[in-house]
Amino acid sequence: MAPNVLDTNELNEIDTMLMEELPPEAALNGPPQNADHLLLRTLGTVREERHQAVRRRGRITAVTSTFVVAGVLAGGVWLGQGLGVGETADALLQGTSSTGAHLAVQVTDTESGLRLVATVDGMQDGEACWLVVHTKDGRTFTAGSWRAHDGEVTLAGSAMVRAWDVARVSVVDHDRRPLVTAS
């Protein structure tokens, strides 16, 4: 016998080993007899699972949307009720300078700080002006700025200070010299 030639017994052993490794479905000649029924049942299961997932997603979206709308409405009501709460007009400060400039400031204390409405008259045309709030302990806060013109100017400003802490309000020039002060 030649050294590279396998005998029939060896071939049968190799064939048996290969057959043991293959699943039983590989030995079938053609598809199983109930293949159409199995395919239809599988496709039906897939369709039903997909349909359930879509319905579940729809329910989750509806519930989430309901909560978002309810939250927005509740927040709007809360904010709407909060407007004006805690706002009190604490003082009207007035002052006149030696040059004839007039300053009147309505000071309103709000929950978030101080709101000012200042009416200024008699500033030199083209003058750069700053509205400055001075506190009782010496701190200063710039509440607004503008370029003056002939006639009366009304402007709004704000500062992070409470109304009871305001000592005076001034209009100052570019060099921070007071032009007119209201107290």
pLDDT for the residue 142: 92
* pLDDT tens string 29-76: 666 666 677 778 888 888 898 889 888 888 888 888 888 888 888 777
CATH number of the domain bearing residue 161:
2.60.40
Same domain, 43 and 99: no
Instruction: Say whether both 172 and 138 belong to one domain.
Output: yes
**β 88-96/166-172 pair status:** unpaired
Q: How many domains does the chain have?
A: 2
pLDDT per position as a tens digit, 113-150: 889 999 999 888 888 999 999 999 999 999 989 898 88
SS (H, E, C) 64-113: HHHHHHHHHHHHHHHHHHHCCCCCEEEEEEEEECCCCCEEEEEEEEECCE
User: Which of residues 62, 83, 104 is at a domain's end?
Assistant: 83
Average pLDDT, the chain: 82
Higher pLDDT, 19 or 146: 146
Looking at the structure, do residues 142 and 62 belong to the same domain, yes or no?
Answer: no
Residue 107 and residue 46 share a domain: no
55 & 41 share domain: yes
pLDDT (tens digit, 9 = 90+) per residue, 75-124?
777 766 544 444 555 788 899 999 889 999 999 888 888 899 999 998 88
78 lies in the same domain as 126: no
* pLDDT score, position 110: 86
Give the residue from 117, 63, 126, 65 showing the smallest Cα distance to 89.
117
98 in the same domain as 18: no
- By the 8 A CB rule, do 160 and 141 touch? yes
Please report the pLDDT score of residue 62 as a whole number. Answer: 85
User: Are 170 and 153 within 8 A, CB to CB?
Assistant: no
Choosing from 37, 60, 83, the residue where a domain stops is 83
The pTM assigned to this predicted structure is 0.52
Find the domain containing 6 and state its range.
1-83
Whether residues 69 and 101 share a domain: the answer is no
- 67 and 126, same structural domain? no
The rounded Cα 15 to chain-centroid distance in angstroms is 70
33 vs 51: CA distance, rounded Å: 29
Spell out the residues 6+ positions from residue 106 whose beta carbon is closer than 8 angstroms to its own.
Answer: 89, 91, 92, 116, 117, 118
Statement to judge: residues 92 and 176 lie in one domain = yes
* pLDDT tops 90 at residue 162: no
What is the predicted pLDDT for the residue at 131? 94
Contacts 24+ apart (CB under 8 A), 174-177: 174/128, 176/130
Last residue of a domain, one of 25, 52, 83: 83
Do 25 and 38 belong together in one domain? yes
